[in-house]
Amino acid sequence: MNGTTPHIVQYQGSKRNLAPQILSYLPRRFNRLIEPFAGMAAITIAVSKQNRANHYLLNDLNEPLIGVLRESIETPKKLIEEYTKVWSEQLVFEMGSVEHYYKIRDDFNAGNKCAANMLYLLARCVKGAVRYSNTGMFNQSPDKRRMGTSPNNLARNVYIISNLLKGRTDFASTDYREITKEARPGDIVYMDPPYQGVCSSRDSRYFSGIKFNEFVECIDDLNRRNIDFAISYDGTCGERQYGEDLPKELGLRKIMLTAGLSSQSILLGKKETTVEALYLSRNLQNIEIHINQGEQLMLAL
């Protein structure tokens, strides 16, 4: 389990490696962590490892992703057994493992969106990147260089995550604005919108886009209700800037976090550092917890 926190499967855009930096700006204890754009729930997992919150709410508009999270946390044995069956089929599939991937993808798009199928597609697809067509079909290609996360490696992570979150987590798959309405004082809302998705009409990871003005209105509503929140949003890679700054009128503190060398730029023969922005609500702006070596090790286990 390399990286800053255990994970179910590789997922593009995950904040797993940035988790120690992000957590340094959150309180040591709070009531509930809400993730309206959960993805693979890297921040929730990191927070639970340090036992900072009592409860967790995971939401993602991509319902099959939530299915993976729900089964990983609530019924890990079932998920591992079903994933093992799907993963092992590729080893004996008459037409080869790549064609097996396309078979599972076709089954998924035909309606069999069970957690094991979703997990297998994530484990084998290029860069762990979820991509959908305009008609809502999963269309990401397989990574032909690897077979995907082995069941044994996946099981170790899944059982750890289940032990951390089982009985303490609620799940939803709805519009992020509906989820933020459930936040109450004492909760922390952590939002990691689809990369550049808040600046465009549609993001290929989702079936519909996230409009910038609606996102700003959501943040303004959290401010009015005195809800604490942190947002991973825009960023830079080399000289390129991604995303539009959130309005200064919201009164947020913007912090730049170094995410390391861009894997994409390395493939192009460049060495460019990715820097991502973290926006903090008013009550979080004076918090900065310096994580000691023991806590760093705890996150890395």
How confident is the prediction for the chain on average, in pLDDT? 86
Of the pLDDT bands very low, low, confident and very high (cuts 50, 70, 90), residue 130 is confident
The Cα 6–Cα 116 span in angstroms is 19
The Cα 50–Cα 23 span in angstroms is 10
pLDDT in tens, 198-208: 444 444 444 45
Characterize the bridge pairing of strands 228-237 and 240-242: antiparallel
Most confident of 34-43, 128-137, 194-203, 242-251: 34-43
pLDDT in tens, 24-66: 999 999 999 999 999 999 999 999 999 999 999 999 999 999 9
The Cα 47–Cα 52 span in angstroms is 6
Q: What are phi and psi of 53, to 5 degrees?
A: -120, 160
More confident residue, 6 or 43: 43
Of the pLDDT bands very low, low, confident and very high (cuts 50, 70, 90), residue 288 is low
* DSSP per position, 47-93: HHHTT-EEEEEEE-S-HHHHHHHHHHHH-HHHHHHHHHHHHHHHHH-
More confident residue, 252 or 3: 252
Q: Tally DSSP H helices, then E strands, for the chain.
A: 11, 8
Instruction: List, in sequence order, every residue forming a beta bridge with 237; answer none if it has no partner.
Output: 240, 274
Residue 287's pLDDT is 73
